[in-house]
Amino acid sequence: MANMVNLKINNIPVTVPEGSTILEAARTAHIEIPTLCYLKDVSCVGSCRMCLVEATGARGLVAACVYPVSEGMEVKTNTEKCRKSRKMTLELMLSKHKKECLACERAGNCELQRLSTEYGCDPNYFEGEPLDTPLDLSAPYVVRDRDKCINCNRCVAACKKQAVGAIGPIGRGYAVHVGSAFEMSLMESVCVGCGQCIVACPVGALKERTTVDEVWAALADPAKKVVFFTAPSVRATLGEAFGLPVGTNVEGKMVAAIRRLSPDFVFNMDVTADLTIMEEASELLNRIQTGKPMPMFTSCCPAWVKFVEQKHPEMIPHLSTCKSPQEMFGGLLKSYWCEKNGVDPKDLFVVSVIPCTAKKYECHRPEMNGEVDAAITTRELARMLKTAGIKLAELPEEEFDDPFATCSGGGTIFGATGGVMEAALRVAAKMLDGKFEVIDFPEVRGTSPIKEAVYNVAGHTVRVAVASGLANAETIIKQLEKGEKQYDFIEIMACPGGCVNGGGQPTLPDSIRNTEDLKSLRAQALYSSDKDNKLRRSSDSPVMDLLYNDYFGAPNSHKAHEILHTSYREDKRI
């Protein structure tokens, strides 16, 4: 048990474990110290100087986010000296900040804007140099606006934590700024598009490359049939953009809200999550039985796929050939659905709602044949709904449209780390042993960075691993290369915690991000939905019977490979 330390913060007695910081101690007394560079589990460097406080035994003001508590310490967080220091820091930041608050997507949800208002800052107190750096529009998934950057380096820390390192500080002193090596564009860099930099940014310096205008145009075009489909995790996060508690499942309200945008159909991407499992589980068994390259990695995360293509091309043969659920749905709609409904694929506009910025990049991959016309993030959908005056929380529950409405619980848990693995195990185990009825695989659940398990099914030993966050994927790859670990099947999600923590999810205030376990709360909404579903295994879904009996024949058939599978290529970057 850790030793405890007693101190006072603003004359309030506080007892915290030894090694705690002043920032952590203050929260136990319900005192919020302002921060900008600090972000729980991502960045803690004390560089922004917003959290400066007075503390006994210290010479001058100290950064609360990194300064440890000590026995008998007395801390003052709100003295005149503290307030003046913070106000000056903010006004210095504003002197180098493009002040476009009325048009900025982070307006009303910007940490710099909030703190500047609270401290009564004069945005023009210090006159900085003219700001005219061109936007970085090179990538189809993210826009970088250097003139809004406050050099908090949270994006740098997030990228480093992902073992990517596409961005970092360049220059010194007043000229320091965040960019890619040799001032190259993001698209030229080793960026994989995961978007963790966007959700880490406290201002509007980074945002997704929006395709909302294209979606509005399609909705207004009488010659177009517009189809929306939503990824599994979106139902667990969309409510946050409308003030609902973290982890609220708004599936029915989400369908009702999208329907009020007037598309022709609203479908459930959980259906192609089920389809992915049918194909992936069959591919795994085929690899085991035929001696093809093992272990097999999942391939439903495009940021992970890009990471492999750029950094570990030797692992490409180990990637499942399955497309992601997004691209499977695009292919399914522009083949099977169009054929059945007499629709020319050119007249169909397919919109996926996704938790991920890398899915935007995926749409542009030539292997995907442009089958998804627009991928919009959870944030973009929320903006569309607000523009249309749709009050999500007040809507009734509505159902997805047939024939792509019914899914299994296995398809729903795709959005949480370990969910793909568990869904695949449910089906693969049943394929190996028709009597195998185990549904829950708790060993692969939870937000631990790396999870391992061994299962014995019908005389087969299946060794599995699950990792979320690309640094953890890197660890697994190194262990495999050194022969330290042996696995048969490995699930990788680029974003820590999986899609529920994706780079396209709602951007929440630091006061929530630094205190709530977002990954667990959002994932629990998906697991609760899975538990309440009478269909727990992807192979039990009647939609799978429809698709295979009516069109594909069997998993991994020739037709299935034409529409549902793809290939990958080495992508050399510096």
Q: What is the pLDDT along the chain (574 residues), one digit of tens a residue?
A: 679 999 999 999 999 999 999 999 999 999 999 999 999 999 999 999 999 999 998 989 999 999 999 999 999 999 999 999 999 999 999 999 999 999 999 999 999 999 999 999 999 999 888 899 999 999 999 999 999 999 999 999 999 999 999 999 999 988 899 999 999 999 999 999 999 999 999 999 999 999 999 999 999 999 999 999 999 999 999 999 999 999 999 999 999 999 999 999 999 999 999 999 999 999 999 998 888 889 999 999 999 999 999 999 999 999 999 999 999 999 999 999 999 999 999 999 999 999 999 999 999 999 999 999 999 999 999 999 999 999 999 999 999 999 999 999 999 999 999 999 999 999 998 888 787 788 999 999 999 999 999 998 878 889 999 999 999 999 999 999 999 999 999 999 999 999 999 999 999 999 999 999 999 999 999 999 999 999 999 999 999 999 999 999 999 999 999 999 999 999 877 5
Rounded Cα–Cα distance for residues 132 and 216 (Å)? 30
Indicate the residue type of 526.
L
Q: How far is CA 321 from the centre of its chain?
A: 22
Torsions phi, psi of 395, nearest 5? -80, 155
Q: What is the rounded (10 degree) CA torsion for 385, 389, 390, 392?
A: 90
Q: How deeply is 439 buried, as exposed, middle or buried, from its count of CB atoms within 10 A (0-12, 13-18, 19+)? A: middle
Q: Which residues pair with 375 in a beta bridge?
A: 352
Rounded Cα–Cα distance for residues 472 and 466 (Å)? 9
Active-site hit among 20, 320, 324, 541? 320
Active-site hit among 251, 309, 362, 491? 362
100 is annotated as an active-site residue: no
36, 23 contact by CB (below 8 A): no
Active-site hit among 280, 309, 380, 491? 280
Active-site hit among 24, 251, 279, 283? 283
Q: Do domains 4-78 and 93-198 have the same CATH topology?
A: no
| pLDDT for residue 434 | 81
- Which of 7, 95, 12, 100 minimizes the C-alpha distance to 57? 7
367 is annotated as an active-site residue: yes
Return the sign of the alpha-carbon dihedral for residues 150, 152, 155, 160. Answer: positive
Active-site hit among 300, 356, 407, 495? 300
362 is annotated as an active-site residue: yes
Angular region, 30: left φ>0, alpha ψ -120 to 50, beta rest = left
Q: Show the tokens assigned to 259.
A: 């329907």
Listed in sequence order, the residues at least 6 apart from 305 whose beta carbon sits closer than 8 Å to its beta carbon are 299, 319, 568
Rounded Cα–Cα distance for residues 539 and 285 (Å)? 15
Q: Locate the DSSP E strands across 205-363.
A: 206-208, 225-230, 265-268, 296-297, 348-354
- Helices 325-332, 270-290: axis angle to 10 degrees equals 110
111, 137 contact by CB (below 8 A): no
Cβ neighbour number for residue 127 with a 10 Å cutoff: 6
Please state which architecture CATH assigns to domain 4-78.
Roll (3.10)
283 is annotated as an active-site residue: yes
Listed in sequence order, the residues at least 6 apart from 118 whose beta carbon sits closer than 8 Å to its beta carbon are 34
363 is annotated as an active-site residue: no
398 is annotated as an active-site residue: no
| pLDDT for residue 1 | 67
Listed in sequence order, the residues at least 6 apart from 102 whose beta carbon sits closer than 8 Å to its beta carbon are none
| CA-only gyration radius of the chain, Å | 25
499 is annotated as an active-site residue: yes
| pLDDT for residue 574 | 52
* pTM for this prediction: 0.95
Active-site hit among 499, 529, 538, 541? 499
Cα end-to-end span (Å), the chain: 47
35, 50 contact by CB (below 8 A): yes
Listed in sequence order, the residues at least 6 apart from 401 whose beta carbon sits closer than 8 Å to its beta carbon are 265, 266, 267
Domain definitions of the chain by residue range:
4-78, 93-198, 213-564
Please state which architecture CATH assigns to domain 213-564.
3-Layer(aba) Sandwich (3.40)
| pLDDT for residue 399 | 98
109, 201 contact by CB (below 8 A): no
H/E segment holding residue 53: strand 52-55
Q: Show the tokens assigned to 462.
A: 């299946």
Strand 52-55 relative to strand 74-76, pairing: antiparallel
Q: What is the rounded (10 degree) CA torsion for 326, 327, 328, 333?
A: 90
Q: How deeply is 162 buried, as exposed, middle or buried, from its count of CB atoms within 10 A (0-12, 13-18, 19+)? A: buried
Q: Show the tokens assigned to 95.
A: 């002197």
320 is annotated as an active-site residue: yes
| pLDDT for residue 128 | 87
193, 364 contact by CB (below 8 A): no
| Class in CATH terms, 93-198 | alpha beta
Active-site hit among 87, 161, 359, 485? 359
